[in-house]
Amino acid sequence: MTKNNMAEKMFNRYYRIFIIPMIFLLYYLLSYLVNPYSESWVKMFKQSTKEWMIEITIMMVFCWLITEVSLITARWMDRWIPWERWPIRRFVAQLFGQIISVGILLSIFYVVLSSIFGPRENEPVTIPEKLDEWQFVFVCVMLSILISAVHTGNYFLQRWKTSMLEASELELKASELRQIAMQSQLQSLKLQLDPHFMFNNFSTLSALIEEDKNTALSFLENLSRVYRYMIVNLPNDIITLKEELRFIKAYSYLIRIRHGDNVDIRIEVPDELSGRGIPPITLQLLIENAIKHNVATGEHPLHIHIYQSEEGKLTVSNNTQRIPNVIPSTKLGLENIRNRYALLSDQAPDIREENGMFMVTLPLLDF
């Protein structure tokens, strides 16, 4: 059973408790508003207690019948002339359907009352009595329309609630799928770091083995430490800046072995930023990117500076001295960083080049 059907069942269970007494009171209220000067009001107040009880019983039964007929008509039209498909046709059909159904009910009700209390005496019907009869018919039609309006309002309310619940469930599922996709993309992006990193360092290690085996052994030991760090942090989307800087200091040893004094890495980050977050291996990527695309010689050393920017963010800068024949980029450096920040935050890295300096400003993230 759907939620909409359950809500409708609950409504059908309890509507009699509230609707029928309400219709009973509305009948007399509308009758009075339509014609407060009717002689029937004078006769009604002159009735005995027994006559009062009989009239109240008859009217309660009639209000129950008119309620049932109105709801049956509305439900039948919900099936064959739904509001969503033919709203104008449904409005016209329901209006005339209520009038016809009430007319049939009144005819049957009149026949039943005549068989119980006997036919009306052959007396001429006066104009006020005719007006009272038409008033009775009019009020019954209005009550029937009111009941169907309540049913229609409840119908649209339940549909709206159902659509809102379905929309919320779809949004929740979409959010879960986005989260899964984000995690998958993050893992893919982080795995892209390995080939780029290992290619450069294994090339250096290969050259060192021929030149200096002791240095090669030391380089391999430090490379193992750095690579172990990368493996440990691979499952993490964000790590503390303190951890990343500790990794960079160890990584700087590899840079010194590879490039000597040709590359100068300087870190000036205040301690108050150490608890903020950053995607792992981000600084290593920027350092690799700077070394890959710039000349680094004894006469023209490459200066890489990691420091706090004026906005309280982290900036990595280097002097630009481009390599004339640049090897085609694998596009795993800056694009990788942009993509990871796009998945983790609404803040993006600021990448700019001005006055002979290439600068990347990284937003620091919260856990």
Enter the pTM of the model.
0.50
> What was the pLDDT predicted at 147?
76
pLDDT one-digit tens code per residue, 271-280: 999 999 998 8
Q: Is residue 367 part of a domain?
A: no
> What was the pLDDT predicted at 184?
47
Tell me the HSE value of 142 on the side-chain side, using a 13 A CA sphere. Answer: 16
Q: Does an H or E element contain 125, and which?
A: none
User: Quick one: average pLDDT of 58-68?
Assistant: 79
Q: Is residue 46 part of a domain?
A: yes
CATH of the domain at 319: 3.30.565
Shared domain for 11 and 156, answered yes or no, is yes
Query: Which of 144, 164, 184 delimits the end of a domain?
Result: 184
Q: Does an H or E element contain 267, and which?
A: strand 263-268
Q: Indicate the number of domains in the chain.
A: 2
Segments forming the whole domain that contains residue 221: 196-362
Shared domain for 180 and 200, answered yes or no, is no
User: Quick one: average pLDDT of 277-302?
Assistant: 89
> What was the pLDDT predicted at 245?
92
Burial class (CB in 10 A: 0-12, 13-18, 19+), 88: exposed
Query: Which of 151, 184, 217 delimits the end of a domain?
Result: 184
Average pLDDT for the chain:
79
Q: Over 70: is that where the pLDDT of 322 sits? A: yes
Between residues 24 and 127, the one the model is more confident about? 24
User: Quick one: average pLDDT of 249-277?
Assistant: 89
Q: Does an H or E element contain 307, and which?
A: strand 302-308
Of the ranges 82-91, 264-273, 309-318, which one carries the lowest mean pLDDT score? 82-91
Q: Is residue 261 part of a domain?
A: yes
Q: Over 90: is that where the pLDDT of 124 sits? A: no
Dist CA 70 CA 54 (whole Å)? 24
Shared domain for 271 and 167, answered yes or no, is no
User: Quick one: average pLDDT of 246-261?
Assistant: 85
Q: Is residue 189 part of a domain?
A: no
User: Quick one: average pLDDT of 168-193?
Assistant: 62
Shared domain for 148 and 232, answered yes or no, is no
Dist CA 61 CA 312 (whole Å)? 78
Shared domain for 209 and 333, answered yes or no, is yes
Shared domain for 119 and 224, answered yes or no, is no
Shared domain for 140 and 240, answered yes or no, is no
Could you tell me which residues come within 8 angstroms of residue 32 by beta carbon, excluding any fewer than 6 positions away? 41
Amino acid at 261: D
pLDDT one-digit tens code per residue, 347-358: 999 999 999 999
Shared domain for 118 and 156, answered yes or no, is yes
Q: Is residue 191 part of a domain?
A: no
- Cα 79 to Cα 1, 223, 262: the distances in Å are 17, 73, 82
Task: Give the model's confidence band at 129: pLDDT under 50 very low, under 70 low, under 90 confident, else very high.
Answer: low
Q: Over 80: is that where the pLDDT of 76 sits? A: yes
Q: What count of other Cβ atoms lies within 10 Å of the Cβ of residue 21?
A: 12
> What was the pLDDT predicted at 164?
84
Dist CA 42 CA 32 (whole Å)? 12
Shared domain for 352 and 212, answered yes or no, is yes
Which residue has tokens 């009639």?
62
Query: Which of 163, 184, 205 delimits the end of a domain?
Result: 184
Helices 193-211 and 282-293 pack at an angle, to 10 degrees, of 60
> What was the pLDDT predicted at 319?
95
Task: Please calculate the CA angle 259-265-267 and round it to the nearest 5 degrees.
Answer: 160
Q: Is residue 190 part of a domain?
A: no
Which two structure tokens, joined as six digits, stand for 226? 């750095």
Q: Is residue 52 part of a domain?
A: yes
Shared domain for 154 and 204, answered yes or no, is no
Q: Over 60: is that where the pLDDT of 185 sits? A: no
> What was the pLDDT predicted at 1?
47
pLDDT one-digit tens code per residue, 199-226: 777 777 787 787 778 888 888 887 887 8
Shared domain for 50 and 27, answered yes or no, is yes
Shared domain for 127 and 154, answered yes or no, is yes
Q: Over 50: is that where the pLDDT of 311 sits? A: yes
